[in-house]
Amino acid sequence: MQDDQLARIIEQLSAEPEEAYTLQQVVDQAVANIPGCHMCSVFVRRHGTVEVAASSDPVASRVDDLQFAFEEGPCLDVLAEHEIATVRDTGHERRWPDWADAAHEEGVRSSLSVRLSAVAPYFACLNMYSHDEDGFDQDALDRAVVYARLASVALEQAREITGLRSALHNRLIIGAAQGILMERYGLTLDRAFEVLRRHSNESNTKLRDVAQGVLDGVGQRSPQH
């Protein structure tokens, strides 16, 4: 990839630091920049659960679903143990025969799956599909490896920002609930937090959800001090 092309890809992947948006950009930019890639998706594994996090095409989504249905396929294999998996011709692929036959019926003739670098327990895999047999040559493979590194960095940054936003939002909710308890019962700030924490432990409910219940004024009765 040329420097200007790399710069453009980085700009697109980092345009909006939100995980869901970045995932969609990852698949869209793969279609735009990887030779032979007509459709793309991203598999994400969090705490042992695998899901399709983004897809560029309904056909890609259906082919992805086939991997789950048959419990076999190149992307599942990449998530489990390999860095890269290629299928040159779904019509003659015997490693994942059920998936390959079904993918062939959907018009997918070849595929390229590349793991995205990540920190456990979060793993992701880029799944690229082609309508052509042997659709990914060595140039496409080399580009895909470079692209996967760029996408991994963008996703890690987006995950961190999303996590920080979520943490900040939770702190605001808890703080607002503390304020309500302080005003309603004449508690100190620390005492109000202790009331929320105690109710969280006794009800086996997340602290954030207890605080939200106080704000909503419905569902659960406000915890008593």
DSSP string, 20-66: HHHHHHHHHHHHHHSTT--EEEEEEEETTEEEEEEES-HHHHHHHHH
For the chain, domain boundaries: 3-159, 164-216
pLDDT, averaged across the chain: 83
Q: Could you give the 3-state DSSP secondary structure of residue 129?
A: strand
Tell the CATH superfamily of the 3-159 domain.
Transcription factor LuxR-like, autoinducer-binding domain (3.30.450.80)
Q: What's residue 4's pLDDT?
A: 55
> What per-residue confidence (pLDDT) applies to 177?
83
In CATH, what class is 164-216? mainly alpha
Q: In this predicted model, what pLDDT tens digit does every residue of 175-201 receive, in sequence order?
A: 888 888 888 888 888 888 888 888 888
- 112-131 average pLDDT score: 82
29-33, 53-57, 164-168, 204-208: least confident range: 164-168
pTM of the model: 0.67
